[in-house]
Copies of this chain bind each other. A is one copy, B any other.
């Protein structure tokens, strides 16, 4: 490119997830032609996220106050804890509109390859919550991949002595999918978890 500033912007944009070099240069040109106030709002929004957003003191979900919106909501059943890996997983569960309990965000998953052990996640804080709060059920909703399963297995073992019911999200065939295209592991899980009708 010709303009140093445009190239600098494209370089920075290319660091964002899902934005390749072509997309970055397309966005840079869009910014060049965009009205001042649109760019101003984008810059303000970037600043606001870094300044305002923090983690909930209780569940480590994203929040703009000491407690997140779920923890502050008296209509939510605070005796049920859904344990997820990341704040974005909270959004995925919320999108179902079927869950009305609280959350606990681990901040990742156990991964020996990336050097992430149980002490790097908010597991100690989960155990502290279970000691202090009258919890009726812990739902392990970590990702259904190797790291998420390893984390769920670790947690199930760690929670065994606490006499609180621990459940895991069902694995099986995705709704709307084709049996033909299901991978063996998913199909095996679906068979294992079959229900009587």
- Using a CB–CB cutoff of 8 Å, the interface residues on chain A facing chain B are 1-6, 8-9, 11-13, 15-19, 23, 25-32, 36, 38-39, 41-43, 45-53, 61-64, 68-70, 86-88, 90-91, 94
Identify the closest chain B residue to A28 (Cβ). B49
Chain B residues whose CB sits within 8 angstroms of the CB of A63 once the complex forms: 2-3
* Interface contact B2-A31, CB-CB below 8 Å: no
The A interface is mostly helix, strand or loop, or mixed, namely: helix
| C-alpha gap A196/B119 in the complex (Å) | 72
- Copy number in the complex reads 2
* Interface contact B64-A3, CB-CB below 8 Å: yes
Shortest CB-to-CB span from A43 to chain B, Å, is: 5
Shortest CB-to-CB span from A119 to chain B, Å, is: 19
Identify the closest chain B residue to A2 (Cβ). B69
Chain B residues whose CB sits within 8 angstroms of the CB of A42 once the complex forms: 9, 12-13, 15, 46
* Interface contact A2-B70, CB-CB below 8 Å: yes
